[in-house]
Structure 1
Amino acid sequence: MTITSRELPLSTHDDHRYTLLARLPATPSARLLWLPALGVAAKHYLPLAEALAARGVAVYLHEWRGNGSSTLRPDKHHDWGYRQLLVEDIAASHAAMAADSPQVPAIIGGHSLGGQLASCYLGLHAQDFQKLWLVASGTPHWRTFAPPRGWLLPFFYQFAIWLAHHRGAFPGRQLGFGGVEARSLICDWASVGLSGRYAAAGLEVDLQAVMAAAAPEIRGVLFKQDWLAPQASLAGLLAKMPKASKQVVMLDAARLGVRADHFAWMKQPAAVVDTLLG
């Protein structure tokens, strides 16, 4: 199958600029807006995009503000949270995808944090997406993690908020979790981890309510050795969308051909693609 590679330069109302990477089959049967994990540049999902495009899915890889092709980097003078990601950035990528391939059904999905924000964005735009794909994703709420890790998470979330404000940005590279992240982004994420409720500071819409009203077809993929997204964490996220139809598959190393952890599948995504396409 012939696959076309495209790079779509985008900008938002607050002058953030980045590139939306696309892999397009000649006659797509569906189009997917894919949101990365925290701190992961869009280019790292090109193997996934190319594998899906070979199966007829047009894939658009979103770039997080502060990563990869983004013109912004977080520091004491540059900050953003879930509101900007949902209202400005994902909305710009969604509009570009809709204009580029408007004739086929739309899917939104993501990896880890990307899956969480895909769920929130779908709630805000439920009429625009028929399906939600979640890979190694779930709520960070501490109660969905088994002890003793679950008991320790509230302390980490509170520390992350303090550290991000103290430093001006969260030094994720130094801590081995995410990248250099905006302090308000970390605050929004950690607040979900502490309370279990999705909210975006400065956004008046009740994210919990719009997620609860949405009824997409959800396909979730988990990995057996992934402690960052255990089964209970995904179940906690799915519980916020009670009207949705849901199918969850757990993959092990034998199915994947690589270690069944949070990131190894990205370089060898064939089993994940098979599972998503079902």
Structure 2
Amino acid sequence: MFANDDVPDHFDKNIADDTFLAHLDKMRKLRERLAALGQCVKNDDFAAIILSSLLECTTDSDQDKDKDKGKGKGKDKDKGKGKDNIWVSLWKSVSLLLLGAPSLGEIGKLKGKKFTELRDKLMERTKNLTVVSALAVSTTISFLTAPPPVTYAAWDNKVPYLFIGGACGSTIISTACGLGLIMYLGVITEDSIERIEGNFERSIAVALLVMPTVFLFVGEACGCIAWLVAVWYGNILWMKIVVTAVLFVCVVLVVILFLFFPNLC
């Protein structure tokens, strides 16, 4: 019969911890009960019981540790996947908004009626962009030529004037690229996409498809910056706060749109 402080020499001292001593207590009490009932158990049987109990505890603790490690790795993987998902969503949004399709390769995979429908949609989209760009050009030109009638925005300052000029130039380029893209889409066929093999040719095709939208966005960004700078060069505090807050909210909404836009399509 083993006592708590009477661990045999052939046992590894490293396992004589609280768990091991607790098992020895249980075995000792069990043996005392059996002795009181007139039954006896061999030492070998007790040794087997103790060792099996220790092995079960060790196995359970190892499994718990493995589970904890697995959970930790799973959390790290989830974090990595979350970051990857954000970039994937942004890239899909950029492709859908600028190109009008997930990629140039996806356009080339379409055949027959589906390709014709997509081409018609891209042409209609480009026509709308061209009209918007043309209207923006006329608006910005009238802004540049008219003297500012108010004092809350310093439109006659050099910085906002340059940004308004940049907006005008960007929308002019967007209009010209839109007209070129309309002519290109009018003659494009399935074979035309399949013949685009090299990276240089693909880059030219993608640039032609995205330039009207890109320059329209650049023009809008220049207009917004011109508004912000002109107001901050003005002399009314509440206008500065309101315009800055509105632009900030618009930027946040655009970022949210870019993240969730692929899920809406």
Is the helix fraction higher in 1 or 2? Answer: 2
Structure with higher Rg: it is: 2
More strand by share: 1
Q: Relative contact order (C-alpha < 8 Å, sep 6+): which is higher?
A: 2
